[in-house]
Structure 1
Amino acid sequence: MRTREAALPREIWVLVAASFVIALGFGLVAPALPQFARSFDVGVTAASVVISAFAAMRLIFAPFSGRLVQKLGERPIYITGLLIVAVSTGACAFAETYWQLLVFRGLGGIGSTMFTVSALGLLVRIAPPDARGRVSGLYATSFLLGNIFGPLVGGALTGLGLRAPFLIYAVALLIAAAVVGVMLRSSHLAQPTTGEGLRIMGLREALGSPIYRAALGSNFANGWAVFGVRVAMVPLFVVEALGQGEAFAGIALTAFAVGNAVVLIRAGRWSDRYGRRPFVLAGLMICGVGTIVMGLTESVALFLITSFVAGLGSGLSNPSQQAAVADVVGSKARGGPVLATFQMTADVGTVIGPVVAGLLAQHLSFSTAFAVTGVIMLVAAVPWFLAGRRTPDRIAPADEVIKDTGS
C-alpha cells in the first residue's frame, strides 16, 4: 500500500507538465484553424481537409515513429517530435496560401506521432510497475485539462488575429522541448537502456498477449467514439435534433469532459490495486450504453446527464487499458512498434468513426449513428471479458515482460 502511494519520479511530472502544455496549445489553435483556412478563400470541405491532414499524417507515420523509438530511444524522438510540431506550427502563422497551410499542418502530424509514441514509451519505462495506472491517469488528466482550457484561452486571443495562436503555441512548444531536454538529459531513467536487462519486444510477441489484443480493440473503439464521433456528431445533434444554439454544444462536450476528469486519476489508482480488466470492462459498457442513450434522448437535461455518464465510462477505461499495455511491454523492454500500433488503432477509429456516423445520420438518423457507436464500444468489451486478469500483485519485480493468463 505504501509503495502504491509513494512519490513518483521527477521525470513523470516533467512529462505530465509537457502533456498539459501540448494539449493547451492544441486547444489554442483548434478554434482558429478552420477560420484561418477559410481566410484563403476556400470552402468548408477544403478547410476540413487541413484538420484531417494532421490526423492522417499521424496515422501514416506512426509505424515509422515506432521504429525510430526502437532504434534511437524515446527521449531524442520525443524532443525531435516537439521541435517538428513547434516549427511547423510557427510556419502556419506565416502561411500565405492554402497549400502552404496544408503542408505545414500535415508536417505537424508527423511530429505529433513521434512525441506521442515516445512519451508512451517513456511512461512505460519510468513509471513504477505498481503505479502505472496512477501515472496513466495523471497523464490523461493533464491532457484533458489542456484540451478544456485551450479553447477558452484561444477564444480570448481571437482579438489578436488568427495567426497569433500559432505563434504562441510554437513558442510554448519550444520552451517545453527545452525544459524536457534539460530535465531528462541527466536522468538515468530516461536514458536509452543498454547492456544487461535490455530486451526488444516486437509486435508479433505482443500480439500473442490476449490483453494487448483486447487493448487494440478497445483503443479503436475509444478513438471512434470519444475522439471521433463525439467531437463531430454532438455539436450537430445538439443544434439539429435538440434545437439548441451552438454555444450549448460546448456545454455538452464539457459535460463529457467533466465526467472524464472526475474518475481519471482515481481509476488509475484503482486499477493498480484491483487490476486493469474490471475497470476497462466497466468503462466500455458504461460509455457504450451512455452513447446509445444520448442518441435516443429528446431532453436537454437527459442529454447532459448521459454525456456526463459516458465521460465517466471513458475515464474508467482509458488509464486502465494504457496501464495494461504498459504491463505487457514492461519497464525492461523497448516496444516502439507495439506502442505505435496501439496508438494507430485509436487514430484509425478517429478517422473512420465520424465518416461512418455522418453517413448513418444523414441517410438514417442520429439515433442510429449513436447506437452503432455505442455497440462498437460494447463489442470492444468482449475480448476484455475473455482475456486473462492482470492484477498488480502478480507483476514480477524484474518486470521484464508481463505474461497473460487465462484465469
Structure 2
Amino acid sequence: MSPAPLPRDIKVLIAAAFVIALGYGIVAPVLPQFAASFDVGVAAASIIVSVFAFMRLVFAPVGGVLVGKWGERRVYLIGLLIVAVSTGACALAQDYWQLLLFRGLGGAGSTMFTVSATALIIRLAPPNSRGRVSGAYASTFLLGGILGPVAGGLLAGFGLRMPFIVYAVALVVAAAVVAVLLKKPPAGTGEDIPVPEPMAVREALADPGYRAAIVSAFANGWATFGVRMALIPIFAAAVLGAGPETAGLALAVFAVGNALALTFSGRLSDSAGRRPLVIAGLVIVGLSIAAIGFTESVPLFVAASVTAGFGSGLLGPAQQAAVADIIGNDRSGGKVLAVFQMATDGGAIIGPVLAGALADRLGYDWAFAATGAVAVAAALLWLLFGRETLARPAPPKS
C-alpha cells in the first residue's frame, strides 16, 4: 500500500525549514570565533552557543501556552521575526555582553516557531508515516545545513558580522513564505485545527519509551546541538591550525552524513521500529564525536564529522516518531513536546559549558570523549529500559 500523501501545511513547513536551516548554518561556523574576537576564553565563547539553548529551555513552557492561545501559525511567524531581529542585532554587537544578550533573545523566538511547527507536524502526520514525515522535515532542514556552513565560512571573508546579516534576511524570507502559504485559521478561531484533549506530562512520563526519549534528547542536544556547534570551530583553529573554511566544511559534511541517513531512516523506522535506530544512532554519534578529539589531521577530522552526522540521521526521525507515537493524533501534546524540547536544549546548554571547561583544563580529547560517553550511556538506557513505541498491525484472523 502506498503511503498517504503529506498534508499541504507540512510541505509549507518543510520549505520554510530549508530557509531557516540555511541561515542557521551560515552563522554556525563563525559564531564561536566571533565571540572569541571579544578576547574571551573557550568556555565563554561556548556560552554564546549555550545561551541560545538556555533561552529556548526557559521559554519552552511559555511557547506551549502561546500556541494554545494564539494558534500555531501566528506563534510561528512571531517567533521567526523575533529571531530575525535579534540576529540582525548580533551583527551590530560592540562587546561580548551585547552579543550574549542579543543571542539569548533569539532563543525565545526560536522556541516559539519550533514548538508550533512540531505540534503541527505531529498532529497532521498520518500514523503509519510519522517516521517518513520526521525524516522529510529533517532532510530538508539538513539540506540547508549542508549549504549554510560552507556559505558561512566563505562569508566570513567579508567579516565575522556579515553571516549574521545574511541569516537575519533569510529568516525574514522564511516568515514571508509561511505567511503567504501556510493555511490561515478559520475566522473567529485561534487554531488551524480544533485542539483535542491535552496529554499531561505526568501521563507521558509513565511511559518508559518517553522517559528514554527524554534521556536521548538530552544526549543528542549535548553532542550534536551543543558541543558540535560550539567546540568544533574552535578545535579546528586551535588544534588543526585551520580557519573558518575548515570549520564550515566539518559542519557541512556532518549535514551530508545526516542527509544520507535520512534518505532511508524515517521509512525504516516506520517498518523496523523506532528503538533499533535510536540505539544505533546514539552509539555511532557517541563513538565518532569522541574520536574527533583525537584527530590530528583535517581528513580524519572530516571523516569523524561525517560519521557523526550519519548517526544523528539514524537517531533523529526515530526519536521524534517515538514521541509522536506516544502522543498520538487524537491528543494535544504541547506540554509533552515542550518537555522533550527542554531536554534537548538542556543538553545543548550543559554540554558546551562542561566540555569547554574540560577543554580549557584537560584538553580537547577529554572534552570530546566525555561527550561521546554521554551519547553511549543514553543508548544503553534505551537498550535496557526503553520500549518499542511503533504499533504493529494486528495479524489477520484465520
State the TM-score, normalized to the length of structure 2: 0.85
Deviation at 1:213, TM superposition (A): 0.8
Q: In the alignment, what sits opposite 1:402?
A: none
1:194 aligns with 2:191: no
Moved more, 385-394 or 103-112: 385-394
What per-residue deviation string (whole Å, max 9, x for no partner) do you get for residues 174-203 of structure 1?
Answer: 332233233223478x944337xx211121
> Among 257, 266, 269, which residue is 2:255 paired with?
257
In 2: Cα distance, 1:248 partner to 1:128 partner: 41
Structure 1 residue matching 2:53: 3-state secondary structure: helix
Q: In the alignment, what sits opposite 1:404?
A: none
Structure 2 residue matching 1:200: 3-state secondary structure: coil
Once superposed, what is the RMSD of the aligned Cα atoms? 3.0
Moved more, 63-72 or 165-174: 165-174
In 2: Cα distance, 1:287 partner to 1:32 partner: 23
1:215-226 matches, cutoff 5 A = 215-226=213-224
1:323 aligns with 2:298: no
In 2: Cα distance, 1:268 partner to 1:283 partner: 12
Residues 28, 229 of structure 2: 8 Å contact kept: no
Identify if the C-alpha distance between structure 1 residues 267 and 369 changes in structure 2 by more than 3 Å, giving closer, same or farther.
same
In 2: Cα distance, 1:126 partner to 1:302 partner: 42
Whichever residue aligns with residue 199 of structure 1, its letter is: E
Deviation at 1:13, TM superposition (A): 1.3
What per-residue deviation string (whole Å, max 9, x for no partner) do you get for residues 21-48 of structure 1?
Answer: 1121223344565677688xx4335776
Deviation at 1:353, TM superposition (A): 1.1
> Among 15, 18, 21, which residue is 2:16 paired with?
18
Moved more, 231-240 or 107-116: 231-240
What per-residue deviation string (whole Å, max 9, x for no partner) do you get for residues 36-68 of structure 1?
Answer: 7688xx433577655543332222111211222
Whichever residue aligns with residue 388 of structure 1, its letter is: R
Deviation at 1:110, TM superposition (A): 0.8
Whichever residue aligns with residue 245 of structure 1, its letter is: A
Residues 90, 166 of structure 1: 8 Å contact kept: yes
**Structure 1 portions without partners, runs of 5+:** 396-407
Identify if the C-alpha distance between structure 1 residues 161 and 354 changes in structure 2 by more than 3 Å, giving closer, same or farther.
closer
In 1: Cα distance, 2:373 partner to 2:33 partner: 35
Identify if the C-alpha distance between structure 1 residues 177 and 208 changes in structure 2 by more than 3 Å, giving closer, same or farther.
same
What per-residue deviation string (whole Å, max 9, x for no partner) do you get for residues 122-175 of structure 1?
Answer: 110111111111111121122222223223334554576666554544343333
**Structure 2 portions without partners, runs of 5+:** none
> Among 40, 44, 62, which residue is 2:40 paired with?
44
1:351-366 matches, cutoff 5 A = 351-366=349-364
Deviation at 1:207, TM superposition (A): 0.8
Residues 70, 335 of structure 1: 8 Å contact kept: no
What per-residue deviation string (whole Å, max 9, x for no partner) do you get for residues 78-110 of structure 1?
Answer: 122112223333445566776655444332211
Whichever residue aligns with residue 373 of structure 2, its letter is: V
1:73-222 matches, cutoff 5 A = 73-92=71-90, 101-157=99-155, 165-186=163-184, 191-194=191-194, 198-222=196-220
In 1: Cα distance, 2:80 partner to 2:256 partner: 28
Whichever residue aligns with residue 242 of structure 2, its letter is: G
1:248-397 matches, cutoff 5 A = 248-298=246-296, 301-385=299-383, 386-394=385-393
Moved more, 92-101 or 77-86: 92-101
In 1: Cα distance, 2:20 partner to 2:206 partner: 34
Identify if the C-alpha distance between structure 1 residues 220 and 394 changes in structure 2 by more than 3 Å, giving closer, same or farther.
farther
Deviation at 1:300, TM superposition (A): 5.1
Q: Give the percent of matched residue pairs that are identical in Structure 1 and Structure 2.
A: 57
Identify if the C-alpha distance between structure 1 residues 108 and 230 changes in structure 2 by more than 3 Å, giving closer, same or farther.
closer
Deviation at 1:75, TM superposition (A): 2.2
1:59 aligns with 2:65: no
Moved more, 243-252 or 15-24: 243-252
Residues 70, 337 of structure 1: 8 Å contact kept: no
Identify if the C-alpha distance between structure 1 residues 28 and 363 changes in structure 2 by more than 3 Å, giving closer, same or farther.
closer
Structure 2 residue matching 1:201: 3-state secondary structure: coil
What per-residue deviation string (whole Å, max 9, x for no partner) do you get for residues 233-288 of structure 1?
Answer: 334444555x4533444443333322211111310111011211111011112222
The number of residue pairs the alignment matches comes to 387
Identify if the C-alpha distance between structure 1 residues 154 and 291 changes in structure 2 by more than 3 Å, giving closer, same or farther.
closer
State the TM-score, normalized to the length of structure 1: 0.83
In 2: Cα distance, 1:170 partner to 1:300 partner: 31
